[in-house]
Structure 1
Amino acid sequence: MLAQFDLAVVGAGIVGLAHALAAARRGLSVVVIDRDAQANGASIRNFGLVVVSGQEPGISRARAERTRAIWLDLAGEAGLDVLHRGKLVVARRAEALSVLEAFAATADGAECELLTPADVIARLPALRGAEIAGGLYSPHELRVESRDVLPKLTAFLAGQLGVEFRFGVAVTAIEPGAVVTSAGLVHAARVVVCPGDDLISLYPERIGQYGVRRCKLQMLRLANPGFQLGAALVSDLSLLRYEGYAALPEAAALRRRLENEQAGELANGVHLIVTQSADGSLVIGDSHHYGATPDPFGSEEVDRLILREFARLLPQVQPAVTARWTGTYSSASHAAFRDAPHEDVRLVMVTSGTGASTGFALGEETVAELFGF
């Protein structure tokens, strides 16, 4: 065990691991400290979808593109499985198709393909019978199995890059050159705090300045439907969840129609993402409820809304629900922030549920800022 590290990372979720990777690849000695025995929060309770198309134009989109490239590098280096690629956006309404047409006309949509209803069915015959106005195919997205990938990435960082992990250790304070933990002092020249949705333990006053709250989501796993997706699948409601679509002028008409036709889904922050695991099962969701401390209980009504949207898109398919869960993540009006409580300390939070999509780029930015690379 080293007596002194170049960098201590507090938090072993995907954002913390991203910072450890960026530092270790640059030859720095790194220790990662986490209070749990393994990653157990938002980083493994998600779709495992690296989203590029639909990210807010500018820095978020650029971070997603860079993060995607790093995921692909890691797929070879660390043996991380990419289960499928791309994203098929199915427009059920003419207003949704107008949003997709406007997006395709932007620089961020240039590599995407607009689809006719027949094109959509050709890409996924299981959609036959759904109301389809058209669609859009994005080639950029990647899908990994988060609950498998994080342990593999942790093992790669430890075994191949020499990162030291201290699990089951709580961090109580940050001092100049040291991290105060339940197992004693950890000496490090610089520190990055990646607290996930812990808004209280470290720097609560600084987190509070960014208006951060928690978002609770509900997700489900469905049995193997008997077909291969080939790409992630989303529908009209999702176009209001991603700024790259929602900020377009054409989205206003879609919002008005959805407010009339699917007010319950909008009130519960429900949209539809469908991804597929290696065993053929589907991960679907999700919902969004906000608060300082959201209750931990799943709502049958919210699950029903998610399943109903799934049935609208795939009316010929009725796979059984095999698992249900809730998760929480940090949420604010901006996608992410990096704060400097001290010249040698950075507080980094993704506040948009896009840690897997943008975290690796954030890690590189932070390490460059702290160490002058």
Structure 2
Amino acid sequence: MYKNRKYDLVIVGGGIIGTYCAYHALRKGKSVLLLEKDAQPYEASFRNFGQAVPSGQALDSWFDYGRKSLKIYKDLQEEVDISVVKNGSWYVASDDQEMTLLEEMMQLFKDRDYTSRLYTASETVEINPHFKKEYVKGGLFIPEEASLNPLVMVHRVREFMIKNLGLHYHNLCPVIAVEKKRGIAMITTSKKQTFWGDQVILANGRDTQFLLPEHYPTAELKISKLQMMRLAPQKKILKSNILTGLTIRRYDSFKSCPSFSKIYTSSEQKQLQAKGIHILFKQADDGSIILGDSHEYVPAGEQANFGFEVSSEINEMMLSEAKRITSLENWTVDSTWAGFYLQGTQSEVFTKVVDDVIHIINGIGGKGMTTSPGFTAEYIQKLYS
């Protein structure tokens, strides 16, 4: 359809990074072609909780990208419904150590002018009566944070760009070669199509073994496998993102708390942490409850070592811990699935520029939904400054 046309920017990969690179470039008046290998993108950008929670990000870096992303989401929501719901986030402490971390984190957020409020155990349960009293030591609520529906958000942003910003989009278009030629980027597809761009961004996710594999060092990248599940639709009780004690112990932001290095981990917690389990809840529009998640890792390019199974043992561990935290009317598991994402081992995101015109952006890990719009805004700004 667009064969042989030259663009200011060609993007390979229609997930959240590729989509928001396109969005920011189009806002700058650039001509953009977005290429997607499948009928619809469906990888890590869609197999996640859909939570925009800057509060969990490293305070010295990605926290700010998360805040920028929240603003981008909310501003875009004013133009088109991309499924943003400003419902806030609850962190629920299960012991005195986690409560101390919440107290310290509230002060760190105050220093950064990021609104949060600390609640006692009784106040937390009064507001969230589905929490079990014996679990709750207190809570921290961040009102500005939001939920999105990962199954629709990227698709709606893309359709908005096609309709209103002049995006050219080509799906079912696997790219098999990218090289610099005549001073610009030449992109070749499996259908023998050729596209040209002054710049090209490769945001093609975990499948690093096909396109310029020599530029993805296995020592710097790993693949994470997550397990999640969806519980049967039921009465609407979860009004916010719910993040629990194991999440407090896992998220990067809490590592900035003075007491973090001193916290004690029980044998039960260690068993869960060995599987990368930390419990999150979110209730979808249809009343179903998304529950997870777990984390297992292999080096980049070795995803076959994960096998194809969804571990019933891990699911049972997550369900058991979830039942310790909250009371639900229905614990029936309607579906369970695995998600996979590429993650940097030596940096928070993997970027590389090849021959001045080929840009690799990958390995953003599990913070993609929270931080990608803000991070890509900065990347595109620098690209065209």
Report the more deviating stretch, 8-17 or 180-189.
180-189
**Equivalent-residue separation in structure 2 for 1:94 and 1:237 (angstroms):** 13
Partner of 2:168: 164
Q: Report deviation, 1:201.
A: 1.9
Q: Report deviation, 1:84.
A: 4.7
Segments of 4+ moved more than 3 angstroms: 315-318
CA contact 2:20–2:376 (8 Å) conserved in 1: yes
**Equivalent-residue separation in structure 2 for 1:95 and 1:317 (angstroms):** 30
Q: Report deviation, 1:253.
A: 3.8
State the SS of the aligned residue for 2:49. coil
Q: Report deviation, 1:108.
A: 4.4
Partner of 1:54: 56
Partner of 1:77: 79
Note closer, same or farther for the CA distance 1:210–1:366 as it changes in structure 2 (3 Å cut).
farther
Alignment match of 1:182 (pick from 181, 190, 202): 190
Give me the TM-score of the superposition, normalised by structure 2.
0.91
Q: Report deviation, 1:317.
A: 4.2
Count residues in correspondence: 370
Partner of 1:324: 336
Q: Report deviation, 1:152.
A: 1.3
What are structure 1's unaligned runs of at least 5 residues?
Answer: none
Partner of 1:208: 217
Are residues 1:99 and 2:107 paired? no
CA contact 2:351–2:362 (8 Å) conserved in 1: yes
Partner of 1:277: 284
Q: Report deviation, 1:319.
A: 2.8
Per-residue deviation, residues 258-309 of structure 1 (Å, max 9, x unmatched): 4x23222111000011111111111111000001312221100100111112
What are structure 2's unaligned runs of at least 5 residues?
Answer: none
**Equivalent-residue separation in structure 2 for 1:199 and 1:133 (angstroms):** 44
Are residues 1:362 and 2:375 paired? yes
Give me the TM-score of the superposition, normalised by structure 1.
0.94
CA contact 2:344–2:350 (8 Å) conserved in 1: no
Amino acid at match of 2:290: V
State the SS of the aligned residue for 1:325. strand
Are residues 1:342 and 2:349 paired? no
CA contact 1:130–1:315 (8 Å) conserved in 2: no
Q: Report deviation, 1:247.
A: 4.2
Amino acid at match of 1:206: H
**Equivalent-residue separation in structure 1 for 2:98 and 2:315 (angstroms):** 23
Amino acid at match of 2:190: S
**Equivalent-residue separation in structure 2 for 1:166 and 1:265 (angstroms):** 42
**Equivalent-residue separation in structure 2 for 1:27 and 1:110 (angstroms):** 33
Partner of 1:10: 12
Partner of 2:140: 136
Q: CA RMSD in A?
A: 1.7
Partner of 2:228: 219
Partner of 2:22: 20
Per-residue deviation, residues 209-254 of structure 1 (Å, max 9, x unmatched): 6610100000001123423322100111111321101343422343
Note closer, same or farther for the CA distance 1:235–1:180 as it changes in structure 2 (3 Å cut).
same
State the SS of the aligned residue for 1:353. helix
CA contact 1:229–1:275 (8 Å) conserved in 2: yes
Report the more deviating stretch, 128-137 or 267-276.
128-137
State the SS of the aligned residue for 1:198. coil
Amino acid at match of 1:30: V
CA contact 2:175–2:190 (8 Å) conserved in 1: yes
CA contact 2:236–2:283 (8 Å) conserved in 1: no
Q: Report deviation, 1:40.
A: 1.0
State the SS of the aligned residue for 2:48. coil
Partner of 1:145: 149
Amino acid at match of 1:175: E
Identity of paired residues, percent? 27
Partner of 1:196: 205
